[in-house]
Structure 1
Amino acid sequence: MRQFCAAALAALFLFIGLVSHASAQDITLRSRDGGVELTGTLLGFDGEFYRLQTQYGELTVDSSGVLCEGVGCPSLTDFVAELTVSGSETMGAVLMPALIEAFALRGGLTTSRETTGPDTFTYHLKEGGTGKTVGRFFFHLTNTDTGFADLLSDNADIVMALREIRRAEITRAHEAGLGDLQKHNRSRVLALDAMVPIVAPGNPVDAISPTDLSRILAGTLTNWATLGGPDAPISIHLRNPGSGLAQGVEDRLVKPARVTLTDGIIRHDSNTALAEAIARDPFGIGLASYSEIGNTKPLDLTGPCGFRLNAARRTIKTEDFPLTAPMFLYLPARRLPALAREFLAYTGSTSAQIVIRRAGFVDQAPEEVPIDLQGDRFRNAIAVADGTSGLSELQRMAKTLSGKRRLTLSFRFEPGASRLDAQSRSNVQHLARALEAGTYDGRHMLFVGFSDGQGPAEGNLRIAQKRAEAVRLAVVEAAETADLSRVVMASDAFGEAMPMACDDSTWGRQANRRVEVWLE
């Protein structure tokens, strides 16, 4: 049939949508020769495509092939790109505004911020010369739960989340026609954060094990004297239950320990309020965002083997600090306006990583760490080297890695699974894009697998080698346009030779099971 019919039929098979914040109204789309027409409720317009709810279902139609009739028809010449972002207050208060302002400046646009409510605001983006409005970005700052609820009710286009999407949310999103939000193109890690145990500055305790943290959260460890502190009851401070930070605490500390949260936890509506409360409470402990610990004292993570891990930009970026928390943007399977797509592309750029660092968060720009800065890790390796075979493997590792530099992109697998965790899946994409850009042309890239110390050493070595090769193949598959003949890529493994944490807990073993990338 005519061009319009072909477009309409093709749209039946497009699992994409469009974004609009105008009230839904009935419109008629008519082919330019007047032979075919389609009536339905306008769900969205992105400046190029209409999205309609019709008797045939939800259709997407190219505006260049049709004429729009009805009071709800948007302007093709004065189109303003609109985007609604909902979810984590941690991400939306500082980080996203900083990125929007930097994006606008780079594109010659001006920005103005309009506060529209206690937890809402709008960014207006205008052309620098004419002052014409070209975009409006609406923000609803609440928590991760509300962000997903807004997305599922069609009140948001993007979710800011401090945790991975949960199975029930995946199912509901799929049923709502939003696509599979587990796919890598439906989410991206914007920046990195961490859950950091904090106490008041005067508290003498300076380190705690995740096992003891779990006992505190469960209410079975209740006095600071047990940890070498004063003889005083421990008060617990956490974010409100709907926040991604609080849910991350449950997912990473409570559930693996197979305990439940105790009663009497003091809850806070913001990260700032949590940090301020801990600073005032001499016997309080909380788990705070790395970006907002305020005037509190962060505690190192430790264990019976004596290893200590502190939250710092590099240890968070490498996931050596085990309570790292990726900051996600989730996007449904719908077409966003061009300006919104350009903004999302900008968030992964080199200049955006600088903005992320300046905003107090941990960026994802890969860095190369010289081997002479691996002292603590090699000291741990020496301390646990067991017998002749352990010493031999340690010597082989030192010889193999000598002269190489460690890349800050590490890879870990989900507990009990062969699937990479969320941050690692993002790291695969980052490394693949770098290979496509020729960043590592002429270099030798070695994927190195490590394991925990549970079970026979030979078996651990085989598993570590298998994981290293799996990561290498995942990166190769993702780097579709890279000329891999310009890079020498290989894999190796050293099993349990260089542990990051004690093996006495689930989190410690998870930290030790990893794949690193070393460059020469």
Structure 2
Amino acid sequence: MQIPRAAALAALFLSLAPVAAGAEDVTLTARDGSLELSGNLLSFDGEFYRVETKYGVLTLDGSGVLCEGPGCPDLTDYVAEVTLSGAPSMGDVLLPVLLESFAARNGFTVARIAQSDMRFRYELSERDGGRLAGRFTFDLTSSSEGFADLIAGEADIALSLREVTPQEAALGREAGLGDLNAAGRSRIAALDALVPLVSASSTLTRIPLGDLAAVFRGEITDWSAFGGPAEPIELHLRSESSGLTQAFAQRVTPAGALAPDITFHDSDAELADAVADSPFALGVGSFSEIGNAVPLPISGPCGIESAATITDIKTEDYPLTAPLFLYLPGYRLPRLVREFLTYIGSPAAQPVIRRAGFVDQFPGAIPFQQQGARFANAILNAGGEVGLAELQKMVRRLDGHSRLTVTFRFEGGSSTLDAQSRSNVALLAEALERGVFDDRTLLFAGFSDGQGDATVNRRLALSRADTVRDAVRIAARTVDPSRITLQTEAFGEALPMACDEVAWGREVNRRVEVWLKQER
């Protein structure tokens, strides 16, 4: 590519990141002398310069220009640097373990340099020669502080136990970060879940989600409401700054404030221990840190229960699944950092994630023969418009298939895929590109809730299945279409996963499942 053309195209790479406080003057000159640009160097990722110029913020390929000025980086001993800020439960164990595994696989040695328990850095050096290759700095505070640091330009990646809020997204746009909700601006490192917890001596064996919300709003205060003794319910949550607590408040008590007498804890382990020690305690903790407490299934008025299991968290059949997010800036990160992010989503990283105590995203297969409980629920909860013939048609169509744990659901009241499902599009597309399903058939099966006309619901379910299939096909850019068969089908309201009488149950029921045809 000619340098003048590269310079012209550079204007298309307008950075969305705020100007760094330590920016320095540089002059970039094309090697043939045809172009010269001066400005403040915002960053250099080992390949590209980001410079604030009178034309705006431009990104230029470092191989085509010469750099002069006090801000020019050392090209010989370049060190990739990145700052990650946010949720401690992600930075304490998960990401360090992944980083150490990534380093071992790629020929790096690792040194951890601690400034405090919550602030430390990892230095990756080449095993042969010892050259320092990268610095990964962790600043662990909370999900909210992670977003604040990303917006202020003090961090490159925000670690969050919840999605970005509309207010944070607006602040990001004002700061020049662009749309934090856009495709590619976030990745899911692993999965967790919000789980109701009681002690082993509690008589409670399940809890309706509506009652759980009412308890933490202060509307139900005594165990007698659940058939227990006339004793007050002791409430436990993570600290108010925790992303898990914020996610719980957003998803379970959006219309009401939390009760005033909640005991807040600084860690998931502390919360689980406190609940386990009291027969009158009720807490909401994380699936990854249950300790000696007892997790409760969530129930609905129709009798269907949903428990936090690895399979149901992966499929999002459990309604309080909590993805662990990495929110990214609008500019290129150094190659070493990009390679680490790619590794996090790779098959090689998934066993590491499991060993760290979280739920991985590797697609599993649930054989048709293990679907008995789901089919029993379908029969027990079939409405007047779903007769035996419809159920038999569904069973005949799915026989000979296994359900993959990759499931797609939608944001409330819309046809937009939710955050976990957007990640699943990339996950399934990557598997297709690796040839995992070559010469196989994938069936995208659409399901709906039971509200409204069954024929209309079936049509909507098919439309959603077509949308998901097309999204996966577009994302799998390198796949030879002749190597894989992608089909769609719709069964409407024939296979409910939760109770349609409640809003959260309807959200669970509106989904697209992926079924893999078994090899003969």
Normalising TM by the smaller chain, what interval?
A: over 0.9
Task: Give 1:186 shift.
Answer: 1.5
Is it true that 1:448 corresponds to 2:445 in the alignment? Answer: yes
Q: Which residue of 1 aligns with 2:413?
A: 416
Distance of 1:371 and 1:13 partners within structure 2:
50
Partner AA of 1:163 in structure 2: R
Q: Which residue of 2 aligns with 1:304?
A: 301
Is it true that 1:85 corresponds to 2:84 in the alignment? Answer: yes
**Mean CA deviation greater in 391-400 or 41-50:** 41-50
Cα RMSD of the aligned pairs, angstroms, is: 2.3
Distance of 2:405 and 2:286 partners within structure 1:
21
Is it true that 1:268 corresponds to 2:235 in the alignment? Answer: no
Q: Quickly say closer, same or farther: Cα 1:26–1:117, change in 2 above 3 A.
A: farther
Residues 369-408 of structure 1: CA deviation (Å, up to 9, x unaligned): 1011112211211212345852221111111111210011
Q: Is the 8 A contact 2:386 2:494 kept in 1?
A: no
Q: Which residue of 1 aligns with 2:179?
A: 180
Paired residues in the alignment total: 517
Task: Give 1:9 shift.
Answer: 4.8
Is it true that 1:403 corresponds to 2:397 in the alignment? Answer: no
Q: Which residue of 1 aligns with 2:487?
A: 490
Summarize the alignment of residues 11-26 of structure 1 with structure 2, pairs less than 5 Å apart: 11-16=10-15, 23-26=22-25
Distance of 1:60 and 1:497 partners within structure 2:
52
Give the 3-state SS of the residue equivalent to 1:344 in structure 2: helix
Summarize the alignment of residues 68-83 of structure 1 with structure 2, pairs less than 5 Å apart: 68-83=67-82
Q: Quickly say closer, same or farther: Cα 1:171–1:5, change in 2 above 3 A.
A: farther
Distance of 1:468 and 1:31 partners within structure 2:
50
Q: Which residue of 2 aligns with 1:480?
A: 477
Is it true that 1:278 corresponds to 2:275 in the alignment? Answer: yes
Summarize the alignment of residues 371-410 of structure 1 with structure 2, pairs less than 5 Å apart: 371-386=368-383, 389-410=386-407
Summarize the alignment of residues 456-475 of structure 1 with structure 2, pairs less than 5 Å apart: 456-475=453-472
Is it true that 1:102 corresponds to 2:101 in the alignment? Answer: yes
Summarize the alignment of residues 78-477 of structure 1 with structure 2, pairs less than 5 Å apart: 78-255=77-254, 258-386=255-383, 389-477=386-474
Q: Is the 8 A contact 1:195 1:288 kept in 2?
A: yes
Gaps of 5+ in 1: none
Q: Is the 8 A contact 1:152 1:176 kept in 2?
A: yes
Distance of 2:440 and 2:11 partners within structure 1:
47
Q: Which residue of 2 aligns with 1:62?
A: 61
Residues 332-383 of structure 1: CA deviation (Å, up to 9, x unaligned): 1111111111111111111111111111111111111101111221121121
Partner AA of 1:467 in structure 2: R
Partner AA of 1:146 in structure 2: E
Q: Is the 8 A contact 2:4 2:34 kept in 1?
A: no
Distance of 2:133 and 2:20 partners within structure 1:
14
Q: Which residue of 1 aligns with 2:51?
A: 52
Q: Quickly say closer, same or farther: Cα 1:496–1:38, change in 2 above 3 A.
A: closer
Residues 190-231 of structure 1: CA deviation (Å, up to 9, x unaligned): 111111111122212121010101111111111112113332
Give the 3-state SS of the residue equivalent to 2:101 in structure 1: helix
Q: Is the 8 A contact 2:3 2:34 kept in 1?
A: no
Q: Is the 8 A contact 2:188 2:420 kept in 1?
A: yes
Task: Give 1:175 shift.
Answer: 3.0
Q: Is the 8 A contact 2:85 2:149 kept in 1?
A: yes
Give the 3-state SS of the residue equivalent to 1:378 in structure 2: helix
Distance of 2:11 and 2:175 partners within structure 1:
16
Distance of 1:157 and 1:20 partners within structure 2:
12
Gaps of 5+ in 2: none
Give the 3-state SS of the residue equivalent to 2:115 in structure 1: strand
Q: Quickly say closer, same or farther: Cα 1:471–1:49, change in 2 above 3 A.
A: closer
Task: Give 1:104 shift.
Answer: 0.3
Q: Is the 8 A contact 1:194 1:289 kept in 2?
A: yes
Residues 315-342 of structure 1: CA deviation (Å, up to 9, x unaligned): 1001111111111111111111111111
Give the 3-state SS of the residue equivalent to 1:179 in structure 2: coil
Q: Quickly say closer, same or farther: Cα 1:438–1:30, change in 2 above 3 A.
A: closer
Q: Quickly say closer, same or farther: Cα 1:64–1:481, change in 2 above 3 A.
A: closer
Partner AA of 2:419 in structure 1: A
Partner AA of 2:88 in structure 1: E
Task: Give 1:12 shift.
Answer: 3.2
**Mean CA deviation greater in 18-27 or 487-496:** 18-27
Distance of 1:38 and 1:466 partners within structure 2:
50
Q: Quickly say closer, same or farther: Cα 1:474–1:12, change in 2 above 3 A.
A: closer
Residues 114-133 of structure 1: CA deviation (Å, up to 9, x unaligned): 11124111001011122221
**Mean CA deviation greater in 487-496 or 328-337:** 487-496
Distance of 1:157 and 1:249 partners within structure 2:
26
Give the 3-state SS of the residue equivalent to 1:184 in structure 2: coil
**Mean CA deviation greater in 207-216 or 5-14:** 5-14
Distance of 2:308 and 2:433 partners within structure 1:
32
Give the 3-state SS of the residue equivalent to 1:449 in structure 2: strand
Q: Is the 8 A contact 1:46 1:338 kept in 2?
A: yes
Distance of 2:170 and 2:4 partners within structure 1:
32
Distance of 1:152 and 1:440 partners within structure 2:
40
